[in-house]
Each structure stands twice: as structure tokens, then as C-alpha cells.
């Protein structure tokens, strides 16, 4: 087992900066995506010098100018992105005012959903953050908060380890009363909900600085996936029972209700077959890695029938083999743990692509993965938990 951190190729970023461009003619296009804006810019017959894209109202402003250079840069702030290409440096002025656009749909998140540029790439080789000397041969569960605090779980030793930002030394160990935890999730207030269903048939709640957890919810089988949405609702995927449950953490009730699957395995739109890690978008759309059906199912809020967004046999999309984990970035693109293929694949406006473990085989070298099941974003990179590893990078 190991925790692997693969670094993201970074782009220049300037915070709280807006741009004023002079001596340019502009054309405004609405209801466009950033990728569409880039395509229009590249295909335009008239030389295009720059464009602005505002996520909030999907407005693209394209500038044309006869002077063209080879300069390429990206400037962004916390509220919107401004892309510039082939701009003479004399025509750029930096100011301290903030562009009045907003991405408020992600305000208040306590986990990371970074927005990547369309051409973002990851290093082929990863570096080891922690290994089996800490977790044993099986680790399960990973969470990274917006302060880059890392939480990672050990099924073998029945514990969760915590590292604060920038530390290579464990700062906290959560252990008492846990037996073979399959997953966990950290709430906005710092409470940690940990699966304890393998032998104890419950989900435990650990408050900040607690020395032992308390039973929060009874479960007949382990929760292979746990997630808490922005309405403070806890979700649990019961792989052995082929369904997903949820319970409102603010209602005072610990009785869950079924929201996906019905307990029978199957491949129709209303059934699941061994669902693993789950993810809930800010609009409460549920994404389920339906592992034995080799697909990712998307359930809109209140919908009992899922729509397949990635699967094994979808020509031209992606071939999956036992997917077990999924996260979304700030643009809503999917990052999937394709466990059977020992790789991570990501979606984009151009389709799916492999971004890590792309060699086609498992292993313990810096460029390979082995039965990796969990991943999470920190503010800079993707971090991946490896399971069932015998070698250490």
C-alpha cells in the first residue's frame, strides 16, 4: 500500500487582478463554454489577440488586433478567468480592481474542487507520500480539506491518520473501536464519519479532539463510500447490498433512506451491482461507480433511474474495468479511478483521457498504479491512495 501524490503542471496565477486591454476591437459571445471560446478564437480568420471568459454568465469576449506575437500567458483571480494569447506587452495594464464575476456555486466547500485549464497535464511519475509501514497492506479512504489537511485510512490496522498541511509527520491518529473501516468523510465542522460496519455494523461519528467515536447509524454491511453534501446529508454506498442510502445529519434522525438501487444486483438504469465510492455535486446530483457493471451512473436529485456517463462498451467514450472512485473538478468534469485498468481517467469537452497510470499494466514504479481505489484533490495536485501494494516507491 502507498499514498501517491502526482503533481499538476502549474500555470501562472495572479490573484485579485483584472485586465484592461486597449487598442482592440471586441466581439461578445454569450452562452458559450470556455473551450468553445478557445475554438472560436483559433478558427477565426481575423488574427485574434486575446479573449476573456466569465464563468458566471458564460460570456466570451474576443479581441482582434493586427499585431501578433508568440507570447502566451494565463491570468486568473478567484472569481473569473482571463486568457490572453499573442498580446503585445505594451497593450496590457494590470490594475488592482477585481473583475465583478462570481463562481458562488462553490462558495463554502470544505473540500477541493479546483478548476483546471483545458490543456492541464500531470507528471507521468508520482512521488510517495506514505507507505505500507504506516497503513499495512490495505488502505481505504482519503480526504483532503481546503487547508490541505490529509486524512487517510487503514483497513488493516483499523485507523485513520491525519497530516496537517506541509507536514510529513502524522499529527493525529483516530483508532479506538474501529474494525476494518472501508471509508470515511470529514464534515464541514470537522466531525469525521467513519465506516465501522465490517464487524460492528455501524457508522461512527468522531467529534473534534474525541478519543473515541460514538455510534451514529446502524448498517448491516460496510459503507464502501461515504459523502456529505452541502445540505449536510450523509450518503453511504452499500456495495454488498447494491444500493446507496442517505440520512440528514441535521434532522436528529439516524434512520437512512434508499436513494439508488433496491438491493438486487442488475444492469438496468434503476439497479446497481457493487457500488463503491460516491460523489454528490453541489446541485445534489449523485455519481456512483457501479463497479461490477463497469460504468459510472448519474442520478439527478430525486431520480431513481440513473444515466450512464461512462461505461465499458461505449464506443468513442471510455472503456472502464471495475471503477471504484470518482471526484469532480470545479468545471464539473469527472476524474475516475479505473481500478481494473490501474489508471485514472478524466473527462473534458473533448471526451475522456488517461492522466495517470497510463502504461496499461500495474506495478510499484513511479509511473504505475496497482488497484488504486481512492483519490482526492488538494489545492495543487491529485493524491491517490493505493491498495494491495507489496512494493514501495
Is the residue at 113 inside a domain? no
How do residues 280-327 score in pLDDT, each as one tens digit? 999 999 999 999 999 999 999 999 999 999 876 544 567 899 999 999
Q: Does the pLDDT value for residue 81 go beyond 60?
A: no
- The reply to whether 76 and 179 lie within a common domain is no
Quick one: 63 and 133 in the same domain? no
Let me know if residue 115 belongs to a domain.
Answer: no
Structure confidence by residue, pLDDT tens digits, 103-147 = 323 557 999 998 887 778 888 888 888 888 888 888 899 999 999
Domain assignment of residue 281, yes or no: yes
Q: In CATH, what number is assigned to the domain containing residue 348?
A: 2.120.10.30
Q: Is 35 exposed, middle or buried (0-12, 13-18, 19+ CB in 10 A)?
A: middle
Is a pLDDT exceeding 80 seen at residue 57? no
* Residue 321 belongs to a domain: yes
Band (pLDDT 50/70/90 cuts) for residue 67 is very low
Mean pLDDT to the nearest integer, 159-174 = 93
Domain count for the chain:
2
Main-chain dihedrals φ then ψ at residue 40, nearest 5 degrees: -60, -40
Span 26-36, average pLDDT: 58
Residue 102 · residue 79 · CB < 8 Å: yes
- The share of the chain scoring above pLDDT 90, in percent, equals 50
Domain, as residue range, for 340: 2-6+120-386
Based on its alpha-carbon atoms, the radius of gyration of the chain, rounded to whole angstroms, reads 22
Residues 249 and 378 in one domain: yes
- 142 and 64 within one domain: no
Nearest Cα to Cα of residue 130 among 154, 110, 147, 148:
154
Q: Within this chain, do residues 357 and 319 fall inside the same structural domain, yes or no?
A: yes
Which residue, of 62, 97, 132, is where some domain finishes?
A: 97
With H, G, I as helix, E, B as strand and everything else as coil, classify residue 163. strand
The rounded distance, in Å, linking the Cα atoms of 371 and 362 is 8
Q: What was the pLDDT predicted at 89?
A: 34
Asked whether residue 213 falls in the same domain as residue 356, the answer is: yes
Residue partners of 329: CB distance under 8 A and separation at least 6: 113, 114, 115, 116, 335, 377
Question: Dihedral sign, CA of 269, 296, 288, 372?
Answer: positive
CA angle 259, 323, 127 (to 5 degrees): 125
Cα–Cα distance for residue pair 29/43, rounded to 1 Å = 15
Q: Please report, for the domain that includes residue 87, its CATH number.
A: 3.50.4
- 106 is a domain residue: no
Residues making up the chain, counted from first to last: 393
**Co-location of 90 and 132 in the same domain:** no
Indicate if the pLDDT at residue 199 is higher than 90. Answer: yes
Same domain, 182 and 298: yes
- 75 and 136 share a domain? no
Q: How far apart are CA 278 and CA 331, in angstroms?
A: 18
pLDDT for residue 71: 33
Q: Rounded mean pLDDT of the chain?
A: 77
Bridge partners of residue 28, in order along the sequence: 61
For residue 41, is it within any domain?
A: yes
Note the pLDDT of residue 127. Answer: 86
Domain contains 111: no
Q: Which of 385, 373, 260 is nearest to 325 (CA)?
A: 373
Give a yes or no: residue 13 inside a domain: no
337-377 pLDDT, tens digit per residue, is 999 999 999 988 888 889 999 987 888 888 899 889 999 99
Asked whether residue 26 falls in the same domain as residue 87, the answer is: yes
Could you tell me what percent of the chain has a pLDDT over 70? 68
Pair 233, 356 in one domain = yes
Torsion of CA 153, 141, 373, 3, to 10 degrees: -50
Same domain membership, residue 176 and residue 136: yes
**pLDDT at 50 > cutoff 70:** no
Amino acid at each position: 500500500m502507498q499514498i501517491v501524490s502526482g503533481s499538476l503542471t502549474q500555470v501562472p496565477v495572479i490573484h485579485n487582478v483584472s485586465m484592461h486591454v486597449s487598442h482592440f476591437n471586441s466581439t461578445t459571445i454569450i452562452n458559450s463554454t470556455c473551450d468553445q471560446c478557445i475554438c472560436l478564437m483559433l478558427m477565426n480568420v481575423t488574427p485574434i489577440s486575446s479573449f476573456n471568459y466569465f464563468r458566471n454568465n458564460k460570456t466570451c469576449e474576443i479581441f482582434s488586433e493586427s499585431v501578433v506575437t508568440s507570447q502566451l500567458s494565463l491570468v486568473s483571480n478567484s472569481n473569473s478567468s482571463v486568457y490572453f494569447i499573442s498580446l503585445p506587452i505594451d497593450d496590457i495594464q494590470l490594475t488592482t480592481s477585481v473583475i465583478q464575476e462570481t463562481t458562488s456555486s462553490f462558495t463554502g466547500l470544505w473540500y477541493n474542487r479546483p478548476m483546471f485549464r483545458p490543456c492541464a497535464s500531470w507528471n507521468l511519475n508520482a512521488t510517495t507520500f506514505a507507505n505500507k509501514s504506516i497503513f499495512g497492506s490495505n488502505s481505504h479512504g482519503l480526504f483532503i480539506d481546503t487547508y490541505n489537511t490529509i486524512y487517510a485510512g487503514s483497513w488493516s490496522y483499523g485507523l485513520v491518520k491525519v497530516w496537517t498541511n506541509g507536514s510529513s509527520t502524522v499529527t493525529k491518529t483516530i483508532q479506538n473501536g474501529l474494525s476494518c473501516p472501508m471509508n470515511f468523510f470529514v464534515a464541514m465542522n470537522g466531525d469525521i464519519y467513519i465506516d465501522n460496519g465490517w464487524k460492528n455494523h455501524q457508522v461512527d461519528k468522531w467529534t473534534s479532539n474525541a478519543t473515541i467515536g460514538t455510534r451514529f447509524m446502524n448498517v448491516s454491511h460496510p459503507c464502501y463510500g461515504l459523502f456529505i453534501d452541502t445540505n449536510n446529508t450523509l450518503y453511504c454506498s452499500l456495495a454488498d447490498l447494491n444500493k446507496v442510502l442517505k440520512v440528514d445529519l441535521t434532522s436528529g434522525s439516524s434512520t437512512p433512506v434508499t436513494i439508488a438501487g433496491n438491493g438486487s444486483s442488475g444492469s438496468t438504469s434503476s439497479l446497481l451491482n457493487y457500488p463503491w465510492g460516491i460523489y454528490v455535486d453541489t446541485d445534489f446530483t449523485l455519481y456512483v461507480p457501479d463497479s461490477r457493471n463497469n460504468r459510472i451512473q448519474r442520478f439527478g436529485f430525486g431520480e431513481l433511474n440513473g444515466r450512464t456517463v461512462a461505461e465499458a462498451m461505449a464506443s468513442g467514450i471510455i472503456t472502464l474495468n471495475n471503477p471504484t472512485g470518482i471526484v469532480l473538478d470545479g468545471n464539473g468534469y469527472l476524474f475516475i479511478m479505473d481500478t481494473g485498468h490501474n489508471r485514472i481517467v478524466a473527462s473534458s469537452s473533448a471526451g475522456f483521457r488517461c492522466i495517470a497510470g497510463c502504461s496499461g499494466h500495474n506495478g510499484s514504479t513511479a509511473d504505475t498504479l496497482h488497484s488504486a481505489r481512492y483519490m482526492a484533490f488538494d489545492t495543487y495536485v491529485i493524491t491517490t491512495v493505493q491498495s494491495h501494494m507489496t512494493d514501495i516507491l
